A and B are shown apart, each in its own frame.
Chain A
Amino acid sequence: MKYLAILILSFIILAAFTSNSQLQLKRPKGWPAPVYDSRHNPLSANKILLGRALFHDPILSADSTISCVSCHLQYSAFTHIDHQLSHGIYGRTGRRNSPALMNLAWSKLLMWDGAVNHLDMQPLAPIANKDEMDMSIDSVMKRLQRSPVYKRLFYNAWGDSSITGERFLKSMAQFMLTMVSSNSKYDKVMRKEQGIAFSEQEERGLMLFRRYCNECHREPLFTTNEFANNGLPPDTTLNDYGRVTITHKAADSLHFKIPTLRNVEYSFPYMHDGRFSRLQQVIDHYTSGIMHSNTLSPALNAPIALSPENKVDLVAFLLTLSDKAFLFDSTYSFPHFVFTP
């Protein structure tokens, strides 16, 4: 009788592990707890795969030409390189520079102005935006419901082939949650991995970084995920005042989301309107381009004085935040195998 009970118990445990195959949100050592609560959306390999297929599929856009990847390319840290403002269907140009995507589980509010309050809800914005995908979410559902591929993927992920907005959004969120960048040289040095050390120049850059930049671009995420006015004079062709349009609070005028600096080497151009194409220009802005106003970040009130050598050292440090393992991780790439029978 005792053996039977043990047998049944072990069978139950085994079944739980194989059929459910629940995955854990990756949390690199020393990082804060993620903001995303995966208890309401437990991760599984098939849901992540479904999200990955959707992320790469132009089926989401009105004329089936634009996918998420169009403006969020993996090799450039999931942003749109070389375009100040990202463009969508029919060559329409948007109002902002598409942000680089990574470590989204730690981000409470998304978009440059924090308009989106949860990672699950993020895809709704670019799908509906006239200048991006220009599709209503229920048209997207109807398209997916007609697709044998997605019927199969939803079945595998959710246990039946019913395609709903909730399942669609949760699957996309799961894929985006897997985009964790934590294997840069910086990370390896911090983990004290053998044979890896900063050069003297990088070390000097780190010291400068901690003195002048860390307040907003805080380690280890290299952002506080808060909003701030970094002293950019508004572009008069865009008149974009950022977060104030969401909160209607005057104190939020010209506040934009503080972007992470991880993979900054690859995520050019920089700023919400993509006005700077090189890191050197960004640093020059902080040393000599600040526009003072009453919503300016207090961290930028005192002038930042950097010598030309300092600037080079700072850039050298910023390059240690590049994570090639992340940029070339094949688990984020186009899953051609799900589209070929």
Chain B
Amino acid sequence: MKKVCSIIFTLLASCFSLWAQDTTDVGIQLQLWYGKASLQSGKEYPYRDTTVQINVFRTYISAIRLSNKGKVVWHEPDSYHLIDMADSSSCYFTMHVPSDVMYDTIIWNLGIDSMANVSGAMGGALDPTRGMYWSWQSGYINLKLEGTSTMCPARQHEFQFHLGGYMPPFASVQEVHMSTRPGKVINVSADIAILLNSIDISVQQSIMIPGDDAVALSCIAAGIFSVR
């Protein structure tokens, strides 16, 4: 009996110690911008000599890690977040970071790593019903940018950029590094104008498949983030 009691006690004690590990909630607040204006659906923004409206901006942020002096000191487990301009709650999430971790940089992947791309059905942010999975060819869409501009010669002036692809040489997942300081909230800005101004939509109105174009635009997309 004594033995059984002691086993139960040890089990309970180890559960408590796990539960009580000292962590701090660190929030990530993403703010979406078009240049100096906040990004809103249906609003007109200047684009070259004309205007543009953004209807869809969705992207995956994954594998968030914190590093200090060039060395990764913490990484978020199961780190997959779907950011959607249509859902402001998706632009804020918290991470449970050990309180004693010091860091000067936050790093994440823009998009989904190749391992998750070949591992079958997954849930949560990665559920294929979230509109970020291709059906005709396996693979996640890392970033969706859709809108209209009078400059765009396509049907109903619509442009659609679906960036994805996990197989070399067209792997489009990108690493994003941003300097930061430990704090309660890390405010990150994403400026969609940087992405859109890199494309001439009178020439290119859509990217829907993995390839050179998707990789090139993904590289630019990685540069739209900055810590405020």
Contacts and interface: CB of A to CB of B under 8 A. Distances in A.
* Chains A and B belong together in one complex: yes
Interface of A: 1, 5, 40-41, 115-121, 124-125, 127-129, 137-138, 141, 164-167, 169-170, 173, 246-248
B28 to A, nearest CB: 24
Interface string B109-139: 0000000011111110011111101011111
Contact of A141 (B119, B123, B129, B167): B129
B48 to A, nearest CB: 31
The listed residue with most A CB atoms (<10 A of its CB), out of B119, B130, B136, is B136
Contacts of A129: 135-136
Given A115-B138, A137-B128, A248-B211, A124 B133 contact: yes
A169 B135 CA distance: 13
A173 B129 contact: no
16 contacts: A5-B4, A115-B137, A116-B138, A120-B120, A121-B128, A121-B133, A124-B135, A125-B135, A137-B129, A166-B121, A166-B126, A166-B128, A169-B120, A169-B121, A247-B167, A248-B170
Nearest to B127: A165
A165 B118 contact: no
Contacts of B4: 5
A120 B118 CA distance: 10
Contacts of B130: 165
B138 A127 contact: no
Contacts of A165: 121, 123, 127-130
A137 B167 CA distance: 24
B8 interface: no
A166 B4 CA distance: 40
Contacts of B123: 164-167
Interface in B124-163: 126-131, 133, 135-139
Interface in B1-33: 1, 4
B119 A166 contact: no
Given A40-B119, A137-B128, A173-B121, 17 more contacts: A40-B120, A116-B137, A116-B138, A118-B119, A120-B120, A120-B121, A121-B128, A121-B133, A121-B138, A137-B129, A165-B123, A165-B129, A166-B121, A167-B123, A173-B120, A247-B167, A248-B211
Contacts of B120: 40-41, 118-121, 169-170, 173
A115 B136 CA distance: 7
Contacts of A246: 137
Interface of B: 1, 4, 117-123, 126-131, 133, 135-139, 167, 170, 211
Nearest to A36: B120
A98 B103 CA distance: 54
Given A41-B120, A117-B117, A138 B129 contact: yes
B162 to A, nearest CB: 14
Contacts, number: 72
A129 B137 CA distance: 11
B170 to A, nearest CB: 7
Contacts of A170: 120-121
A111 to B, nearest CB: 9
Given A40-B119, A165-B128, A118 B167 contact: no
Nearest to B170: A248
A128 B130 CA distance: 14
Contacts of A120: 120-121
A41 B137 CA distance: 22
Contacts of B128: 121, 124, 137, 165-166, 169
Contact of A166 (B118, B127, B137, B167): B127
A164 B119 contact: no
B165 to A, nearest CB: 10
A68 to B, nearest CB: 15
Contacts of B1: 1
Tell me which of B119, B121, B136 has the highest count of chain A C-beta atoms within 10 A of its own C-beta.
B121
A170 B211 CA distance: 29
A117 B118 contact: yes
Contacts of B136: 115, 125, 128-129
A120 B135 CA distance: 12
Contacts of A128: 135-136
A116 B120 CA distance: 10
A127 B135 contact: yes
A41 B120 CA distance: 9
A38 to B, nearest CB: 10
A124 B130 CA distance: 13
Contact of A164 (B127, B131, B133, B211): B127
Top 9 nearest A-B pairs (CB, nearest first) are: A165-B129, A128-B135, A120-B120, A169-B121, A120-B121, A166-B123, A117-B138, A118-B120, A124-B135
Nearest to B211: A248
Nearest to B165: A248
